[in-house]
Amino acid sequence: MIRWMGQHARVFLRTLVRLMAQPVATALNALVIGVALTLPAAGYVLLDNLATAAQGIATRPQLSLFLRLDADAQAVAQIQARLKAHSSVAAVHFVPKAAALEQLAERIGVPELASALDGNPLPDAFVVDARADLSAPGLERLREEMAGWPAVDHVQLDSAWARRLDAMLQLGRTGIAVLGALLGIALVLASFNTIRLQILTQREEIEVSKLIGATDGFIRRPFLYYGALLGLLGGGIACGIVEACLRLLETPVEELAQLYGAPFRLAPLGWREGFALVGLSAALGWLGAILSVTRHLRQIEPR
């Protein structure tokens, strides 16, 4: 076991020296990997921040029932009793037309609005909290049912925007996953080509190694480390680029959030996500290397 670990350590160090002996080529290859990984990584971080911001907004499904202007107190009482007895309703809040007009005047900053109007143009309304386990089709059926009740003029599903936002986030996550998969394939191909060039450069050395009895596993080992180390460097560069982009966006995002009265700061790439990104990059580099070296070693035989 100790001998095996010693062999791997020596190969690792030799591969590291080889990488450092070609700083320009190593830097360019790692930069290509880092830039390619930055796109899905940055998209993931931005979507994660957007989802965190959306969690701070109430998403309990609500419906607003607006009654007809000519609805009397008896009609209001009947609808209230019907809502409280409904199995899909969790809570009901009645908003009389007078209170609605006062809230409107307060919101627009015109306290004399009520006295300036000949009458109250606003209807009585109910704010209904639906059960949290209702699906989107269930909420739509509930809205259509309540819209058909007597004295009800209009029913609005207030949480539809939140569900649309959640659907957009799901679509964004799917898009990022597809983009990441495509770029992952591209990185495997880039590693494949890089290792192919390394094998061609060391063709004579490989032939001599085979002549003296070196196994394919022994010859393959430094190329696998080479691909993994390139991926490791590329993943580190991707983490650095993502962090730099977040720092650049931090101040503008805070200023935009303040305009909407919502304190919000961009969360950086966490250490778990950073380790996962670097590890995935190293694994893709290793995969491209093993595919390349397995194929091209078969074509090299000592003469």
Which DSSP letter does residue 175 get? Answer: H
Bridge partners of 152? 67
Report d(CA 89, CA 139) in Å as an integer: 10
Q: Is the pLDDT of residue 282 over 60?
A: yes
Q: Is the pLDDT of residue 171 over 80?
A: yes
Report d(CA 51, CA 171) in Å as an integer: 12
For the four alpha carbons of 173, 174, 179 and 181, in that order, the dihedral sign comes to positive
Task: Give every CB contact of residue 89 below 8 A, 6+ residues apart in sequence.
Answer: 83, 128, 129, 130, 131
Are 221 and 8 spatial neighbours (Cβ–Cβ below 8 Å)?
Answer: yes
Average pLDDT over residues 178-207: 83
pLDDT number for residue 237: 92
Which tokens go with 78?
Answer: 């009947």
Percent of the chain with pLDDT over 90: 3
Higher pLDDT, 25 or 234: 234
Report d(CA 163, CA 169) in Å as an integer: 10
Least confident of 36-40, 202-206, 223-227, 245-249: 202-206
> Quick one: angle between helices 271-297 and 216-259, nearest 10?
150
Are 26 and 20 spatial neighbours (Cβ–Cβ below 8 Å)?
Answer: yes
Biggest CA pair distance of the chain: 105
Report d(CA 244, CA 249) in Å as an integer: 9
**Closest by CA position to 219, among listed 230, 206, 208:** 206
Residue ranges of domains in the chain, CATH in brackets? 2-57+163-297 (no CATH), 62-158 (3.30.70.3040)
Higher pLDDT, 235 or 255: 235
Strands annotated E in the chain = 62-67, 89-95, 125-130, 152-157
**Closest by CA position to 222, among listed 204, 240, 208, 202:** 202
Q: Which amino acid is at 15?
A: T
Report d(CA 152, CA 244) in Å as an integer: 55
Least confident of 81-90, 179-188, 237-246, 251-260: 251-260
